[in-house]
Amino acid sequence: MSAAGTWNVTVNSPMGAQPSTLTLAVDGGAVTGTQSAQGNTSPIANAKIDGDTVTWSNSITTPFPMTLEFTGKVDGDTLNGTVKAGAFGSFPFTGSRA
């Protein structure tokens, strides 16, 4: 199943659950989209799909400026994986199709 569409993503961080909305568009081999959280929307970068694996990064400014690097697997209407949060380490995330 395609990763294209809108996803409700929740990162389980030491600061608690961090919800966001991820929108992915796939056009041939190109993957683009946005991620929205805490009232801010930003374009994602470095997005790729390889089989059922999707990766992307997102630069945030709150609570700290950093680049989040996501790697997840699509399984039907779920998208689960890990996010690397710079020096803070990696945390699991869960997602479901909106």
Res 24: pLDDT: 96
What is the overall mean pLDDT for the chain? 93
Overall average pLDDT of the 58-63 stretch? 85
What pLDDT, on the 0 to 100 scale, is given for residue 38? 86
Please report, rounded to a whole number, the percentage of residues in the chain having pLDDT higher than 90. 80
Q: Is 38 exposed, middle or buried (0-12, 13-18, 19+ CB in 10 A)?
A: exposed
| Domains identified in the chain and CATH numbers | 5-97 (2.40.128.20)
pLDDT digit string, tens, across residues 1-14: 689 999 999 999 98
Q: What is the spatial distance between Cα 29 and Cα 51, in angstroms, rounded to a whole number?
A: 12
